[in-house]
């Protein structure tokens, strides 16, 4: 079980209450699809992903980026119970979507870069460390139902 200090809780709630989901979600998913092109294989029904420009202007990808980012709200709202909170999503990614769990880490690293770029000088070392700890807990929970 991951333990959270009062300060860590306040950092996480501040990041998410100031988060522009509509901007950050698409940017993080696009970055992941461009930098790690094998992740594109899961989105063959989303339309043209021919090059970086096509990925960045694909409305289905943008919408999915927002949806995935909102998937982190589950962890924000269940900080003391992150593993259980992701049981269903973990099973979905494992048994139905067949997403290699290594890709979760790649996506959250892309997300970290986008969030850091937006926060600028507010992205202090304690913010970075807490955000990384939070995302690691999510990645671990999402990987839990893989056998
Ligand atoms: Zn995922 C889906 C979240 C990662 C792929 N996702 C999904 C959803 C959510 C999520 C919320 C929705 C579900 C329902 O509808 O029910 N993801 C998530 C998260 C993460 C992720 C949170 C991290 C952090 N994913 C991921 C990755 C990938 C994916 C990495 C690849 C590579 N997903 C996916 C898909 C889907 C999903 C494919 C389905 C889509 C459709 O719509 O079809």
Q: What is the DSSP letter of 36?
A: S
Cα 64 to middle of ligand 1, angstroms: 8
C-beta separation of 49 from 55 below 8 A: yes
| Ligand 1 site-directed mutation target among 46, 93, 105, most atoms within 8 Å of CB | 93
- For the entire predicted model, the pTM comes to 0.97
Per-residue pLDDT of the chain (147 residues; tens, 9 = 90+): 899 999 999 999 999 999 999 999 999 999 999 999 999 999 999 999 999 999 999 999 999 999 999 999 999 999 999 999 999 999 999 999 999 999 999 999 999 999 999 999 999 999 999 999 999 999 999 999 998
Q: What are phi and psi of 32, to 5 degrees?
A: -60, -45
C-beta separation of 123 from 116 below 8 A: yes
Question: 103: Cβ below 6 Å to ligand 1?
Answer: yes
Enter the tokens of residue 127: 């913010």
Enter the tokens of residue 146: 């893989």
ipTM value, please give it. Answer: 0.98
């Amino acid at each position: 079980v991951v333990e959270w200090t009062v300060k860590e809780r306040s950092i996480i709630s501040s990041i998410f209450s100031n988060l522009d989901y509509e901007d950050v979600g698409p940017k993080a998913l696009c970055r992941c699809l461009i930098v790690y092109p094998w992740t594109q294989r899961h989105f063959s029904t989303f339309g043209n992903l021919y090059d970086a420009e096509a990925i960045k202007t694909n409305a289905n990808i943008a919408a999915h980026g927002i949806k995935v980012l909102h998937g982190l709200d589950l962890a924000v709202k269940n900080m003391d119970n992150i593993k259980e909170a992701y049981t269903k999503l973990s099973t979905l990614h494992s048994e139905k979507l067949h997403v290699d769990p290594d890709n979760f880490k790649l996506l959250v690293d892309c997300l970290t870069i986008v969030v850091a770029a937006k926060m600028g000088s507010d992205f202090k070392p304690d913010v970075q460390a807490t955000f990384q700890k939070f995302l690691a807990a999510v990645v671990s929970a999402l990987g839990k139902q893989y056998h």
